[in-house]
Chains A and B, each alone.
Chain A
Amino acid sequence: MDDDVRGALATLLEPEPAMRSTVADDVRRGRALRMRRQRWLAGGVAAALVLGIAGLVGVPRMAGGPLPTPGAVTGLPSAAAPSTAASAVQLIGYWRVTGTEDDGAILQFGSRDSTTAFVLWRRCGGAIGDWRLSPSGAMVMSSWTGLSRGSECRGRPGALSPRVPWLDEVIALQPDRTGYLLLSPSRTVVAGLVPAERSDIEPDAGPTDVMADLPAATDADRHALTAAAPPGSQPLDPSELVGRWTPHGPAPAHLELAGDGTYSGAGGCGHGRGRWTIDAAGVLIATGSPPVAADCATPEAPSVWAWVWLAEARGARLTGQTLALLGPDGRVLGTLTRQA
C-alpha cells in the first residue's frame, strides 16, 4: 500500500515546471530576512557594512539635468522644511505612496543598529532596498531584491518585479502638509508619502509576518540618521568623484562612480551597486546592498570591497588622484586611486 501511495503521489508531480527562482534568490531573501530581524553577524561581513547607515545627499545627475542643491530645494515651500534630524527619524514608519505607478503601495522605512532598509509593499509582491537621507534633506533610494508571492500574484503582470523605477529618481525629501514629498533632480514631485499603518499593508503582498514589523529606533539609530560630515572631510562636488577608482590592495577591484548617481563595484568574488551623492555640507551618502557572492579572499590576496566603504562612508577627502572615504567618526575606511 505504501508503494501504491507513493506512486500515486508521484503522478501528481507531473508535469513539473522549472523553478523560477535560483539559489542566489534564496540567499538574497535570507539576507533580507536576517536584516529585518537585525541579526547581522558581526563580521558577516560586508552585508552589515554595506547597509551601514550614512545619510544621503542628492544624487548628481551629470547627464540628466542640473545638480541638486540639497537643503535648498526650490519650487516648494521651504518654510515647511523641518530640522533634518526630525525628518530622518520621523520617516521611520509606514507611508502610503501617492502619485506614482505604485499608487496605494505602502513604503516602510526602517533603521536599526545603524542599518537602514525599506520595504515597498505593493498590493501583491513588492521590493526591498536601502534608503539614505542627509541632514540637509537629500535622499537616495535603491531597491535590490523583490518580494515574491508568485501564487498570489499570478495574472498580475509586473507584480513580482523588484524594479521600482521611480525610486531611482528620488533625490530629496521635502515635508508637506500631509506628509512628505519625494523630489526629482528637476524638483518635480516623484511621489507623495502619506502616513499609514502596518495594517494598511495588503496581507497578500508578501511575507508580512516576518518583514512588516518595525523595531523602535534606538539612540544609535537617531545618531546615525542625523550625523553631520565627519572631521577631515571636504565639501566636494559629486562631479569631482565621477569616474573609476581602484582601491589600494593586492587583489583586483574597482569602484565606479557614475554621473547619474549610480555606482558599481567589484572585488574578489563579490560585487555591489547602489546610489550615491555628496551634499553641499560634504556629507557623503550611498545606499548599500548585500554582496551577491561569497568572499573568495585568501590570506595572500584579501578581497577589497570598496563599495562597502562607500556605503559606510559619511564623507570624503580628495588629494590629487587619491580619494579617501571617511566613516562617521572621520576614520579612513579606505583609499582609492583614480584610474586613468
Chain B
Amino acid sequence: MAPPDFESYAAARRLQLRRVAYLLCDDWDRAEDLVQDALARLYVHWRRAARADDIDAYVRRTLVNAYLADQRRPWRRHIVTATVPDTPVPGPEPSRRDELRAALASLGASQRAVVVLRHWEGLSVEETAAALNCSTGNVKSQSARGLARLREVLAADENDGAEVS
C-alpha cells in the first residue's frame, strides 16, 4: 500500500492528536499548539516518516517530546508571588471531573504522559517506553504511581455513589 500524503494523514489524525495533547496539558489552545508543532516537524521529515512502519508512533513521540520540552521551559513553572490574586467566591462542590483534572494535574509530566499513552491511547508498556524514550521498568513504575493517584479519585467517587444509593 502506498504511504499516505502528509495532508491526508494530518487531516485524519490531527483531531485525535489534539485530544492526546489536551489530556497531557489540560489546555485546548496549548494542545493545538503542540499538535501544530508536532505536525510541522512531521512535515519536515515526512519522506522518512511516511516510510516508517508506524507513522502514528513517530508523530506521537514528537508530540510527547514537544510536551515534555515545553513543560521544562521556565515560563511554564509556577511563579511565587507576594500578592494574592482575586479571592474566589465559594462555589459548588468540585465535581468528579474537577477532581480527576486535579488528580491528573498533580502528576509529574512524564507520569502523566505514561498514563495518557497507556490508558487513553492504549499503548503497550513497550510502545509507551518507545514513545517516551525510557525503559519499560520506568513506564511500569510511573504507570503504577499515576494510576494509584487516579484510583483514589475514582474510588472516592464510587464510594460517594454508594453512599447516595
A: which residues have CB within 8 A of B?
1-2, 4-6, 8-9, 11-13, 16-17, 19-21, 23, 25-27, 29-34, 37, 39, 41, 148-152, 154, 203-204, 207, 209-210, 294
Contacts and interface: CB of A to CB of B under 8 A. Distances in A.
Contacts of B29: 150-151, 154
3 closest A-B pairs by CB? A30-B43, A151-B30, A151-B29
A12 B101 contact: yes
Interface string B9-33: 0110011001100110011111011
Contacts of A294: 5, 7
B40 A26 contact: yes
B33 A149 contact: yes
B119 A5 contact: yes
Contacts of A209: 69
B58 interface: no
Contacts of A12: 22-23, 26, 97, 100-101, 104
A10 to B, nearest CB: 8
Interface of B: 5-7, 10-11, 14-15, 18-19, 22-23, 26-30, 32-33, 36-37, 39-44, 46-47, 69, 73-75, 96-97, 100-101, 104, 115-116, 119-120, 122, 147, 150-151, 153-154
B40 A33 contact: yes
A25 B43 CA distance: 11
Contacts of A41: 47
B119 A6 contact: yes
30 contacts: A5-B115, A5-B150, A11-B96, A12-B22, A12-B97, A12-B101, A12-B104, A20-B32, A23-B11, A26-B6, A26-B14, A26-B40, A27-B43, A29-B40, A30-B6, A30-B43, A30-B46, A31-B43, A32-B40, A33-B44, A148-B32, A150-B29, A150-B30, A151-B29, A151-B32, A152-B33, A203-B74, A207-B37, A294-B5, A294-B7
